[in-house]
């Protein structure tokens, strides 16, 4: 298990993911390089989706620990860390929606041939502004 961070997120997708989730402190390592590699491969190399998935994983990790721990004057709440990672996961998806605008596409399965349109009584202009307004159910 390895943990590396160059300090320059432009160097690699791994560093980008670490930067997004805040795992840049060598004294407080949260996820391994191998976990990041798996998250990237599991999300078709989407850094935002991988970062989101890792935040959810970290939130679950901290949620299973004791609610809080106190030693003398020092107190630590794992539930706060868990909630913070869930919140960060949501913010990363918001950021992703602004950075990676989805590309519209059409499935060939949904395309109709001219003969199919005639059989269904369609006139070739099925999709227009307001097509779903005032429809009978």
DSSP 8-state symbol, 104:
P
The overall average pLDDT reported for the chain is 82
Count other C-beta atoms under 10 Å from residue 43's C-beta: 16
pLDDT at residue 66 tops 70: no
Mind listing the pLDDT tens digit for each residue in 15-31?
999 999 999 999 999 99
Place 96 in a pLDDT band, splitting at 50, 70 and 90: confident
Count other C-beta atoms under 10 Å from residue 53's C-beta: 21
Q: Any residues with CB less than 8 A from the CB of 84 and at least 6 apart, and which?
A: 59
Place 49 in a pLDDT band, splitting at 50, 70 and 90: very high
- CA 129, 132, 134, 136: dihedral to nearest 10 degrees? 150
pLDDT at residue 48 tops 70: yes
pLDDT at residue 77 tops 80: no
Place 132 in a pLDDT band, splitting at 50, 70 and 90: low
List residues bridging with 74 in a β-sheet: 71
pLDDT at residue 75 tops 90: no
Q: Where are the beta strands (DSSP E) in the chain?
A: 68-71, 74-77
- Listed by start position, the domains of the chain span 13-99
Are 26 and 3 in contact, with CB atoms under 8 Å apart?
A: yes
């Amino acid at each position: 298990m390895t943990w590396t961070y160059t300090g320059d997120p432009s160097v690699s997708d791994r560093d980008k993911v670490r930067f997004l989730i805040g795992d840049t402190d060598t004294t407080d390592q949260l996820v391994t390089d191998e976990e990041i590699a798996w998250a990237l491969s599991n999300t078709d190399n989407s850094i935002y989706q991988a970062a989101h998935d890792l935040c959810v994983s970290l939130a679950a990790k901290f949620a299973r620990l004791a609610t809080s721990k106190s030693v003398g004057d020092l107190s630590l709440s794992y539930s706060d860390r868990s909630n913070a990672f869930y919140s960060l996961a949501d913010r990363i998806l918001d950021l992703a929606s602004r950075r990676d605008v989805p590309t519209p596409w059409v499935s060939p399965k949904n395309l109709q041939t001219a003969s199919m349109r005639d059989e269904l009584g369609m006139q070739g202009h099925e999709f227009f502004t307001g097509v779903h307004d005032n429809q009978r159910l």
